[in-house]
Structure 1
Amino acid sequence: MKTEKKAIPSNKAMVCGTTGAEALNGGVTILKKGGSAMDAALSTALSQITLAAGSWVSYAGLMNIVYYDSETGKVYNMNASFNTVKNEKDPLSIPGSVSLDLTKKAPSSDGRSVLVPGFMAGVESAHQKFGNLPFADIFENAIGLAENGIEWNSGLQKQFNYRKEILSRLPETKAVFTKSDGTFYKIGDTFTQPELAKTLKKVVKLGSNYMYNGDWAKKMVSVVQSEGGKLTLDDMKNYQVEWNEPLNQNYNNHELFVHGLPAVGGVNTIEALNLIEKAQFSKKPRYYEDPKVLKELSDIIKFGELFPYVKNVLNAIPNLDISSEGRLKKENATVIYEIIKQGQLFGASPETKNTPKHSDAVVVIDEKGNICAMTHSINAVSWGGTGIFIDGVSIPDPASFQQQEVAKAGAGKRLPDPTNPGIIFKDGKPILGFASIGAGLHAKTITSLLAVMDYQMTPQEAIEIPNLGFVNFAKPQNGFPRTIDSTEFKLNVIDKANELSDGGFEHNTTMPGYWIGIKRDDAGNLHGSTVRKLNKGGRAVGY
């Protein structure tokens, strides 16, 4: 196997992920056993959760996939995001639980913050549709890691310290993080998850139904209701994975397929690329070398990030369709581009909170040319605020910061999400699978796609160019400044860009977006990217 922080091309197959060296190596093992790209991606994702101890990803989380099937030549889109709870009639009153400062005591929330998970249903549905190996094979690595143990490292310790009070609240949860002598794990200890291993083995034997209509589901519903939640067994057993059409658009001699409706991540991606095409960025200097282009690109990306808060301005424009379907149209870009250039959109303060989205991304290309681009997430910060574990599985609190989104989606409906995995074609052939995570996932996706399609970079080169982070909602007086790592830019570029945008860029290195991708070059070699600044074992592994 070829693996390292430096990009090494492979010509057969490759697995790329944001975290989890053992998970990625396990994915490659699946490929060598004859598994498909889907088999390898699912195995990797399952193992990433075990390695995370259910912290930033969870078996009760969400999963979304864009998949290219080389046999049919078609691209498929799977949505296994959260469903809202049918009996929740007043979601705006769900207690909040948002704190992104890991040095402060975390607030707690109640059972009403729990939504209907999609991850494990997604695993089974995806495997049934595109898996080659037996269902048990894709669980083997995750179960082994749970039974044999992993090192309790400094990253897990830091997150545990943040959530210690909440994770000690319930006896079953506290037992997950204590050794046989009753003390908590410390750095260097071997952390085992025997209850999780038992649960995964039952899923292998009984299918995902065990977690949606079996004993596990019944226990989860009982515990959540005892914590004040409205979740019912009907919510669980009625959950359905959605196989929808991916969104599709052309850009600069490339064809994109991205995560489809009702999710909004793919809409944001296509809309931004339409605007970039209208702005003719392919004829302009690179954004990190020219302050005018930097400001213009930031405003275009900001449009997608702040779209819910500029609707009043957009609604006043005749004949402008701002529905999700309308935002995909290139004719919309002509109108919106002129509005952005006039600087009319970003002056008012949105009533919102920073949204925690802790996640993992996986991209796989197998020997047959199948491509899987996946994002999966707990959609919460460090296990979430519920403090609930059900037989080794962490239960997150995604409704604790998405009250408005839950209300808008409606009771018992799919909650739209901003994830944006995708696949790019050129000359009718798939050349790139990609996915992203983090608070700045939209920004990093757009700059990386721009780098690959316009700057002709490899994925590794694309992730090494200067970062544009998330919009800082806390400083609306500056028109919502773009957080960036200013050490990556030439200072004169930032200084002049700030002059053009009234201080629109501020230094912040803590919350960028993380993007991964695997690209096939003209000679057939695969080039994978590794995640910069995310020191949790993320890498590309190929052979």
Structure 2
Amino acid sequence: MQKILVSAFLLFLSAHVAYSQTYAKNGMVVSAHATASQVGVDILQKGGNAIDASVATAFALAVVYPLAGNIGGGGFLVYMDAQKNATTTIDFREKAPLAAHSKMFLDENGDLIKGSNHNGLLSAGVPGSVAGLYMAHQKYGKLPWASLVQPAIDLAEKGYPLSWNLHNHAVEMYAEEKTDHIMPSLYKNESGEIVAWGELWKQPALAKTLTAIRDKGQDGFYKGAVAKEIARYMKENGGIITMKDLEKYEAVERAPIKGTYKGFDIYSMPPTSSGGVALIEMMNVMELAGLDSIEFNSAAYVHIVAEAMRRAFADRAEYLGDPDFNPDMPLDRLTSKEFAQMRYDNIDLTKASVSDSSQFGQLYDGHNTTHFSVIDKDGNAVSLTTTLEYLYGSKMGSPKLGFLFNNEMGDFNPIPGYTDTGWLIGTQPNQIQPEKRMLSSMTPTIVSKDGKPYLVIGSPGGRTIINTVFQTVLNVLEYDMRIDKAIEAMKIHQQWMPDKIYYEEDLMSPDTRDILIQMGHTVEARENFGRLMGITVDPKEGYYVGAADSSGPDAAAVGY
């Protein structure tokens, strides 16, 4: 274990250089933290498969990356079995508690109580991460469950060197007043001081919770002492999650959304995530765009990409939600080549379309999350995105348990029937109902060529996830970019409402920006979109190439 900690410490000091790739022959893990990536690779070296490595990496992230790695949130997993040429997904998105209802965040006048759906424990959904990881292991893992959770326990008990990034988080957050919640003590050492950069950071309460999960599987979280403490903490601090909510929670295995692009097969998450449907719809539109004659990142290129995004997000808003509550979603139609032709035919190549909140996609007829990618020696691949929603989720959690709860209830449509020109959507498919999973933008994706994994990719970033992954997939498949360059290339974001193009600051030329404005687009600069973690497979030599987004200060691709 000491060897792991030392190597991980060296990794986080040197692993992240922009436009750099890591090469491996036998297996690779790319995650938001070098220590977690190393844990996953260690499992691969012990004979574990991609699922085993993913489980171990996810639990390690819960220890070393608490701003998004979690056991108090949820997520999605896409798994490709290279030997069987079969792909499946596991939906472990959080659920609305049994006491939830469609107007729970509204005042007596029917107006949204500002911040109520994102702040405090009322905003917490029933966590799904432990159930999802357990289901993945029980169905597709090889090594014993306990051996996959133990590395995370070791990291929590013995500590690991705190990174400069997380130390800075600690310094910034401890200007806040003290409470009896976990946040004020999260980055404190045994002496009550902020853990210094490079100092071993220990989390004994989290180690105890993880031990229960190690020994009892998902029952160690959803039943027994941990569940009782979750219910007690919720009741005493404004939450509505109960023991019954926890006992009833189950992850769901679903068939992936599948599309094609110029000879490649694309597999991504179906609803409850909107990512796969929107990704395939946009890739289908771009297949029609004649990109051979359009310069990459020119104004003409950005315009077409933005218009494809606009249409996909309008359709997302109108149609998508939890499939267990919306059995008639037109998924086949939305992802069909014929539908894409109709959408593409409606694009004016010389001027911007208009986003109309009263018409959704009919007009065109005729924040924190983390991702990691894994591949093993046999070519089996996992793309997994997990989330707490905001940075550190609700920022609340019992000190006895050592983890933070999500604030995912904010991903539901909060005001039934009300859609504005900003960020609020009120369509029925994603309105709050008890035990319903809130719509997500997470887009873990695996692209295959001739039945074998070719690209494993995903990103955090709220609603921007879909477009960040879309552009990276397009960069690799259409332009044959190296994975590091595809990740670092300029990204834009258009999500129908608000009706504007967001672009990464300093990466769009002023000339391109001015032409877009002349075409009728509203544009606005943002710092960056997402933190992509990707792996490509060389189809001839079979080696793996991994890269982590340079915006992730602790991220690393680790292989062997």
Q: Which bracket does the TM-score occupy, shorter chain normalised?
A: 0.7 to 0.9
Equivalent runs, 1:46-85 vs 2, <5 Å: 46-52=59-65, 54-85=66-97
* Partner residue in 2 for 1:135: 145
CA contact (8 A) 1:96 1:401 kept: no
2:155 maps to 1:145? yes
CA distance in 2, matches of 1:37, 1:506: 40
CA distance in 2, matches of 1:201, 1:166: 31
Equivalent runs, 1:145-294 vs 2, <5 Å: 145-160=155-170, 163-164=173-174, 168-170=178-180, 174-281=184-291, 283-288=292-297, 290-294=298-302
C-alpha RMSD over aligned residues: 3.0
Q: Which of these residues, 502, 507, 519, is aligned with residue 482 of structure 1? A: 502
CA distance in 1, matches of 2:220, 2:234: 17
* Partner residue in 2 for 1:445: 469
In structure 2, relative to structure 1, the CA distance for the partners of 1:142 and 1:403 (3 Å cut) is same
Q: Which letter does structure 2 place at the counterpart of 1:364?
A: V
CA distance in 1, matches of 2:301, 2:118: 43
Q: Which letter does structure 1 place at the counterpart of 2:33?
A: G
CA contact (8 A) 2:121 2:394 kept: no
2:331 maps to 1:329? no
CA contact (8 A) 1:70 1:370 kept: yes
CA distance in 1, matches of 2:143, 2:205: 25
CA contact (8 A) 2:448 2:455 kept: yes
SS at match of 2:125: coil
Q: Which letter does structure 2 place at the counterpart of 1:507?
A: A
1:56, distance to aligned residue in structure 2 (A): 2.1
Q: Which of these residues, 504, 507, 512, is aligned with residue 493 of structure 1? A: 512
* Partner residue in 1 for 2:523: 505
Q: Which letter does structure 1 place at the counterpart of 2:442?
A: T
CA contact (8 A) 1:295 1:501 kept: no
Q: Which letter does structure 2 place at the counterpart of 1:488?
A: L
1:166, distance to aligned residue in structure 2 (A): 7.0
Segment of structure 1 superposing worse, 119-128 or 164-173: 164-173
Q: Which segments of 5 or more consecutive residues in structure 1 lack a partner in the other structure?
A: 100-106, 312-320, 352-356
SS at match of 2:83: coil
Q: Which segments of 5 or more consecutive residues in structure 2 lack a partner in the other structure?
A: 1-6, 107-111, 320-327, 361-366, 415-425
Q: Which letter does structure 2 place at the counterpart of 1:202?
A: A
Sequence identity percentage: 23
CA distance in 2, matches of 1:239, 1:108: 22
1:68, distance to aligned residue in structure 2 (A): 0.9
In structure 2, relative to structure 1, the CA distance for the partners of 1:390 and 1:468 (3 Å cut) is farther
CA distance in 1, matches of 2:43, 2:220: 24
2:455 maps to 1:422? no
Q: Spell out, residue by residue over 1:345-375, the C-alpha distance to the aligned partner (whole angstroms, 9 max, x if none).
A: 3255999xxxxx3111111111111111111
CA contact (8 A) 2:96 2:436 kept: yes
1:308, distance to aligned residue in structure 2 (A): 5.3
CA contact (8 A) 2:286 2:308 kept: yes
1:390, distance to aligned residue in structure 2 (A): 5.0
CA distance in 1, matches of 2:242, 2:309: 39
**TM-score, normalisation: structure 1:** 0.86
**TM-score, normalisation: structure 2:** 0.83
SS at match of 1:381: coil
In structure 2, relative to structure 1, the CA distance for the partners of 1:212 and 1:247 (3 Å cut) is same
CA distance in 1, matches of 2:359, 2:202: 44
In structure 2, relative to structure 1, the CA distance for the partners of 1:310 and 1:291 (3 Å cut) is farther
Q: Spell out, residue by residue over 1:250-276, the C-alpha distance to the aligned partner (whole angstroms, 9 max, x if none).
A: 211111111122321111111111111
CA distance in 1, matches of 2:481, 2:118: 45
Q: Which of these residues, 36, 60, 74, is aligned with residue 23 of structure 1? A: 36
In structure 2, relative to structure 1, the CA distance for the partners of 1:399 and 1:166 (3 Å cut) is farther
1:400, distance to aligned residue in structure 2 (A): 4.1
* Partner residue in 1 for 2:109: none
Q: Which letter does structure 2 place at the counterpart of 1:150?
A: Y
CA contact (8 A) 1:472 1:481 kept: no
Q: Which letter does structure 1 place at the counterpart of 2:309?
A: I
Q: Spell out, residue by residue over 1:158-198, the C-alpha distance to the aligned partner (whole angstroms, 9 max, x if none).
A: 44456547783215554444433344445554321011111
